[in-house]
């Protein structure tokens, strides 16, 4: 008979150690500190670019700071097919450039849906905060210019892409870099604050210039300046793509609601 001592030794229990869950605070911090790569942002904004540049063929308006179609509008009068081809060529050139440089940057086309969702939230926040601030500064606000649904969509796309490119990337971002070098500041915070205010003032003022400019009103000027400050913050901390979609979606909220 086998005794208890004669029994074979029991196999040691294998325990699968569970990885500790990442706390929600660290996830939120990682999201807040993640700024979308510039090349990825450029790729993700191609749909907005195409909606505007092909959409202006069907409407009588165009964005006042559009730096691209102004150079190609002469082609439109001579050849509609040539303009469409050139516009698609711009978008293709951006896509090809990003594709070639993908090994040097972090190209993540899959970020499009998160960027879109984040932009919707920021646009809603912007509509409540900027609208609330302006309504407390002035008893009345100017309403949106009457436009058809297609014109609203196209103009929102044009404002989102071109105004963010000119006022946030070039004027705010580029101006901050130049000012930082001129002031020999180790931190870009002070130059960023100066350029955020300056670019927002210019952003608001440009809406009253040119043949498509609005009639100047103090309340609309302040409203747009505050919107520029909000978008400058979005661009600085979230990147170009989020700023473009936030601006475009915000304009659609204003236009339709």
Predicted confidence at residue 141, as pLDDT, reads 45
**Environment class of 1 (CB within 10 Å of its CB; exposed 0-12, middle 13-18, buried 19+):** exposed
Q: What is the pLDDT of residue 137?
A: 65
Q: Which residue has the higher pLDDT, 13 or 187?
A: 187
Report the pLDDT value the prediction gives residue 160, as an integer from 0 to 100.
94
Mean pLDDT across the stretch 91-109?
A: 70
Cα–Cα distance, 151 to 180 (Å, whole number): 40
> In this predicted structure, what is the pLDDT of residue 215?
83
Question: Residues 66-86: what's their mean pLDDT?
Answer: 68
Q: How far apart are CA 161 and CA 42, in angstroms?
A: 10
Whether residue 127 has pLDDT greater than 70 = yes
How deeply is 231 buried, as exposed, middle or buried, from its count of CB atoms within 10 A (0-12, 13-18, 19+)?
buried
Give the residue from 223, 225, 245, 221 showing the smallest Cα distance to 234: 245
- Binned at pLDDT 50, 70 and 90, residue 162 comes out as very high
pTM for the model stands at: 0.79
pLDDT reported for residue 52: 92
pLDDT tens per residue, range 181-223: 888 877 777 889 999 999 999 999 988 887 667 788 888 899 8
pLDDT at 38 over 70: yes
The pLDDT score that the predictor gives to residue 106 is: 57
Q: Which residues of 238-249 are buried (b: 16+ CB within 10 A; e: fewer)?
A: bbbbbbbbbbbb
């Amino acid at each position: 008979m086998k005794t208890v001592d004669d029994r074979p030794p029991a196999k040691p229990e294998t325990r699968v150690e569970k990885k500790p869950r990442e706390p929600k605070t660290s996830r939120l911090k990682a999201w807040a500190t993640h700024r979308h790569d510039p090349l990825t942002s450029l790729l993700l904004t191609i749909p907005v670019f195409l909606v505007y540049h092909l959409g202006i063929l069907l409407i009588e308006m165009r964005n006042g700071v559009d730096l691209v179609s102004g150079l190609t509008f002469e082609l439109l009068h001579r050849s509609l097919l040539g303009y469409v081809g050139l516009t698609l060529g711009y978008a293709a050139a951006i896509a090809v450039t990003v594709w070639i440089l993908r090994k040097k940057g972090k190209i993540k086309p899959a970020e499009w849906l998160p960027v879109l969702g984040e932009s919707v939230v920021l646009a809603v926040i912007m509509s409540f905060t900027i609208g609330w601030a302006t309504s407390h500064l002035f008893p009345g606000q100017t309403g949106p210019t009457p436009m058809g649904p297609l014109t609203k969509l196209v103009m929102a796309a044009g404002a989102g892409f071109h105004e963010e490119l000119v006022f946030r990337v070039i004027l705010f971002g580029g101006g901050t870099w130049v000012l930082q070098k001129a002031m020999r500041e180790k931190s870009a915070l002070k130059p960023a604050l100066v350029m955020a205010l300056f670019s927002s003032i210019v952003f608001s003022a440009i809406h009253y210039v040119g043949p498509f400019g609005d009639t100047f009103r103090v309340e609309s000027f302040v409203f747009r300046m505050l919107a520029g400050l909000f978008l400058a913050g979005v661009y600085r901390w979230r990147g170009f793509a989020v700023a473009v979609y936030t601006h475009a979606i915000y304009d659609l909220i204003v236009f339709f609601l």
